[in-house]
Amino acid sequence: MKRFILSLFVILLFVGKLAADEGMWLPMLIKERIPDMQKNGFRLTAEDLYSINRASLKDAIVHFGSGCTGELISSKGLIITNHHCGFSQIQSHSSVENDYLRDGFWAMSMSAELPNSGLSVRFLIRMEDVTDKILSSYRSNMTEDERVKLINENSNELLKAATANTHYQARVESLYYGNQYFLFVYETFNDVRLVGAPPSSIGKFGGDTDNWMWPRHTGDFSLFRIYAGKDNKPASYSKDNVPYTPKRFFTISVKGVEEGDFTLVYGYPGRTQKYLHSQAVRYITEKSNPHKINLRTLRLNIQNEEMAKSQEVRIKYASKNASVSNSWKKWQGESKGIERLKTIEEKIKFEKEFNEWAKDKPEYRGVIARLDELYRELEIYAFATDYHNEAISSNEIIRLAGTINTALKRNSKMTPLVSAANIKSILDGFYKDYYLPIDKKSFVAIVDQYSKNIQAEMQPPLFRDMISKRGGVAEIAECLYSSTVLACEDKAYRFIEAGVTEDSFVKDPAFILYNAFNDNFINKIKPRFDEINSEINLLYRTYMRGQMEFNKTGVFYPDANSTLRITYGAVKGYKPNDAVYFKHISTLEGIMEKDNPEIYDYNIPQRLRDIYSKKEFGRWEVNGTVPVCFIATNHTSGGNSGSPVINADGELVGINFDRVWEGTMSDIAYDLQMCRNISLDIRYVLFVIDKVAEASHLIEEMNIAD
Ligand code: ARG
Ligand code: GLU
């Protein structure tokens, strides 16, 4: 193990073939990259980015909610993230009378800022390489179970020590498939209030039509504020809490960016899979993605049709629709990109070379072949799992039955009445955003696909029986939605009023179906799926080490795993197709070109039209217009939404929010020609706050450098 770590260190020092722009680096190890970064224009030091001895830029960054990034932009705890990251909070404060999604929301004083239950942000306090500690007393003759047990015990010790006498939380994460372990210590704040959001016609301008695309003109930002107790420490919501004073916040630069300028994105990318075997990539791009895309197309068509008919339904399904559509579109770009890059063929070629090299290395010799075998065996289980998630668990009433079921099991010791109170809160959350016709039509469409595409033996026998007795999925849906108590809100509340136990719903068809699918999945699919996957993961530990030994001059970075990372690159246009070149920056002119009151996604607020026709751009004007978004070569992923995009001096110039469609395969294979992250130009943010929202008191809080 020691030897491996040593060689890893040497590898990290060596600047090899990797395109300078690819890579998601651990802040603590950023020293290794500083020479390359400085060569590309960066003017700060490693300590400016990450330090445990003094405030550094990492102290101005938060993991926002569970899947986004946000950053501090004032000494009063003001944070900025994307509109789509705050979307569910904005939605939950919205109603037909107070439609903040449509009209935007601006707190004109702190007392008007809106609390959000369930929303938290966390700061990284420190990180530490704990590989030696985690594997101390590991012996190479241990079984895998013994190794896992040892790791758990050692992690628990470390976590206890890291958080003793503090209010911190800690986690140990594995990197490089269990070849390295890092400890992360966090501080979490739970009182986070909504401060401002532009109307969706700015914050989601272009909607799902422009999503994942360039040229882009989305003002994808929202503002929140962290509140703390009087001691500046985390406290649960109270009206007596005060704005948090951060250790560090970003200075904003309004100088803007030019093509070629250095940029750095600092945030929490969720998941990448660079080191996959060719079979895994084949499964994703040729089988899993096409089927999942098809299932979501069916759902989206149904949602879009119903949402177009009613404002109420549109609000209810806004957030659900955006998230279904988001991966749907990304998967399409990803499969195309992998095909264009010939990633599968490249991997097969690499695997041949690796095998040649490994011929006389018993440790590595059989790894590729065994992975190949296991992936082939995994396929039917992976496919059934994909369908279970996308075609069964995505049915809302079935999922509600599942949530209630789980709660009742957990509540089994409570009195029926206390239990009913818990179920009531589940129902409240559910019906707030539920529209039965969408759910029912989706059920018919996607469960039908399940019944056709999954081998009959892998489906629940009860479901097969129902199909043959009733004739088809449409008939099952007819029966389900007319007789489950959950289909009618009033009935459901009345039903639980007198108290509920685990037995209350045994005869209800939604519960019967949920249980049939769930038991089938748990008993017939999951065990083998997990078993094969755990063998695969174990092999990756060896394969990963092998890839590093094989390519001694290569530069490696650990796949993203929702831990804080730095990625750097340059502002740059790209060539998506023959005869087309996309420039690096978009402007307000493009918004006006797209503006169309007839098309929901492109119907901008009248106020923006007025400002434009009078050219009232104020200090945000550049060459007669206002910059809106820009693209760069930074290697980002889902989770990087809301991440600060900083210039060579560490000033905030943009907010990351997307990638270009032609480059969405970068989670698996990065390509300098096509992969671009999309950022919102900070000057557009300031323009919207100042001129559209007239909330200049917020700008006064910020530190703006010219
Ligand atoms: N594609 C961006 C991301 O992955 C933005 C998603 C939200 N916007 C939307 N139109 N669905 O999160
Ligand atoms: N919009 C994505 C997010 O929510 C970021 C875009 C990406 O996947 O790169 O994190």
385: phi then psi, degrees, rounded to nearest 5: -70, -45
Which pLDDT value is given to residue 134? 97
Model confidence over 294-338: pLDDT tens digits? 999 999 999 999 999 999 999 999 989 999 999 999 999 999 999
- Most informative mutation of 265, 324, 658, 678 for ligand 1 (most atoms within 8 A of CB): 658
pLDDT surpasses 70 at 93: yes
Model confidence over 412-442: pLDDT tens digits? 888 998 889 999 999 999 999 999 999 999 9
Rounded distance from Cα 205 to ligand 1 centre (Å): 11
Q: DSSP states of 543-570 as a string?
A: HHHHHHHHTTT----PPP-SS-EEEEEE
CB-defined site of ligand 2, < 6 Å: 68, 636-641, 657-659
* Alpha-carbon gap, residue 82 to 706, rounded angstroms: 24
280 touches 274 (CB < 8 A): no
Q: Which of the residues 641, 643, 666, 679 is marked catalytic?
A: 641
Ligand at minimal distance from the CA of 213 is 1
Q: DSSP states of 307-324 as a string?
A: HHH-HHHHHHHHHHHHHH
Ligand at minimal distance from the CA of 676 is 2
Which pLDDT value is given to residue 18? 61
* Alpha-carbon gap, residue 660 to 592, rounded angstroms: 21
397 touches 492 (CB < 8 A): no
pLDDT surpasses 50 at 11: no
Rounded distance from Cα 100 to ligand 2 centre (Å): 23
- DSSP letter at 285? I
- Dig out the tokens for 677 from the structure: 């992250």
Neighbouring residues of 547: CB distance < 8 A, sequence distance ≥ 6: 275, 354, 554, 556
- Dig out the tokens for 615 from the structure: 């050219």
Catalytic residue flag (residue 84): yes
* Alpha-carbon gap, residue 483 to 440, rounded angstroms: 13
Neighbouring residues of 512: CB distance < 8 A, sequence distance ≥ 6: 462, 506
Element (H, E) at 665: none
CATH 2.40.160.20 assigned to 1-120+190-269+565-706:
no
pLDDT surpasses 60 at 667: yes
Picking from 442, 377, 382, 430, the residue whose alpha carbon sits closest to that of residue 403 is 430
462 CB burial (10 A radius; 0-12, 13-18, 19+)? middle
Model confidence over 193-237: pLDDT tens digits? 999 999 999 999 999 999 999 999 999 999 999 999 999 999 999
Neighbouring residues of 342: CB distance < 8 A, sequence distance ≥ 6: none
Q: Which of the residues 208, 220, 448, 681 is marked catalytic?
A: 220
Rounded distance from Cα 328 to ligand 1 centre (Å): 11
* Alpha-carbon gap, residue 354 to 365, rounded angstroms: 9
Catalytic residue flag (residue 63): no
Residues of the chain with CATH 2.40.10.120: 1-120+190-269+565-706
